[in-house]
Amino acid sequence: MNRIRKEKRNEHGFTLIEMLIVVAIIGVFLSLALPVYKDTVVNAQNQSCELNKRMLKVAMETYYLSNGNIYPATGKEIDELLAKHYLEERPRCSGKGAYTFTVSTDGKSVDVSCTVHHAP
């Protein structure tokens, strides 16, 4: 019976040093993982925005071909594409940017860009 009591008395929880070591190791793992996570999120936002720009360009070109080689009125492009069902819903940039449209000087092509993800 005394032997059981001695064994139980010798059982202790983790020491403060052991806990600090575990916290330090977790901190090292987080410091390595967070930059990778952040880069992954930024890359996903860029890809999402790029897909939206491509979708908008296709919708604009389809509108152009279906409406006598005329693009929607400047400033109302997305509203017009939604009204005529060239888009099902308003595309949103994951970086909170706005989409802008630039029609070429000859009026035969259009570029779509984002105010956050600047590349057309």
3 has pLDDT over 60: no
Task: State which of 3-12, 57-66, 89-98 shows the largest mean pLDDT.
Answer: 57-66
| Residues above pLDDT 90, as percent of the chain | 69
Q: Which of 43, 34, 57 is nearest to 109 (CA)?
A: 57
The mean pLDDT of the chain is: 88
For residue 119, give every residue at least 6 positions away whose Cβ sits within 8 Å of its Cβ, in sequence order, or none.
113
Q: Which domains does the chain have, with CATH numbers?
A: 15-114 (3.30.1300.80)
pLDDT digits (tens, 9 = 90+) for 66-116: 999 999 988 889 999 999 999 999 999 988 899 999 999 898 899 999 999
If phi over 0 gives left and psi between -120 and 50 gives alpha, with beta otherwise, what is residue 90?
beta
Of the two residues 10 and 57, the one the predictor is more confident about is: 57
